[in-house]
Amino acid sequence: MHSPLVIHHDLTAVLPPQYCGSCAYYAVLASYPHVFIHDGMRYDKRFKSTHRTAIADTRGVLELTVPVAKPQSTSSAIWSDATVSPHGGWWNIHLTALESAYGRTPFFEFYVDDFREFFTQDVCGQRITDYDAAIDSTIRRLLGITTEVHHIYNKELPEGIVDLRHADFNSLAPVPPYYQIRADRLGFIPELSILDLLFNLGPEAPLHLRKCRI
């Protein structure tokens, strides 16, 4: 049985792979009963969301980037050809940044252990799309999203599918303001990673996703 977040009951969508995607991305994903994540999208270093996400720290927006090893032939490469690089010990930086940004939020301590395995040197060498998929699976579980997600690589999409590979999710599903721990000083900061919503709202996060205008 699908969750109340599903509103496009007879449709299937294809979405791009995302690293800890935005709240809007998950609002869209959760609105379909079936979704394909297209790991075979052409590698394009301008497409940052495959390995970059945005959180809110003590000073405002902070972007976190997972460095990737550049594929040998970028002209014909797809995103699944790019692998997670160990450059700069980024996993320590990301975990420290999350602890600093959200350590005092109401639900950080309840969820952080679910993510620790993704911030170790052991993830280096994985395909970035596999890394994204593993985190995505955890996020969907914590949010109670029942959408059936499958990963595809083929260039030709199934007939009748809703193609959202290049959608502007923040415009497609604008997220209404929600409680953020530093809003009294920084104001509400939109278009952040789903982790921001999860750590601030906890079990109420799925209810807020339902408020997005999709």
3-state percent helix, strand, coil for the chain, nearest multiple of 5: 40, 15, 45
Are the CB atoms for 14 and 152 separated by under 8 Å?
Answer: yes
pLDDT tens for 24-61 read: 999 999 999 999 999 999 999 889 999 999 999 999 99
Are the CB atoms for 196 and 180 separated by under 8 Å?
Answer: yes
Predicted confidence at residue 69, as pLDDT, reads 94
Predicted confidence at residue 118, as pLDDT, reads 98
Predicted confidence at residue 71, as pLDDT, reads 87
Predicted confidence at residue 80, as pLDDT, reads 94
What is the reported pTM?
0.95
d(CA 207, CA 195): 15
CB hemisphere CA count around 116 (13 angstroms): 7
Q: Residue 153 — φ and ψ, nearest 5°? A: -125, -20
Q: How confident is the model at residue 5 (pLDDT cuts 50, 70, 90)?
A: confident
pLDDT tens for 93-125 read: 999 999 999 999 999 999 999 999 999 999 999
Predicted confidence at residue 75, as pLDDT, reads 77
DSSP string, 76-132: T-BGGG-EE--GGGHHHHHHHHHHHHHTTSTTHHHHHHHHGGGSSGGGTTSBHHHHH
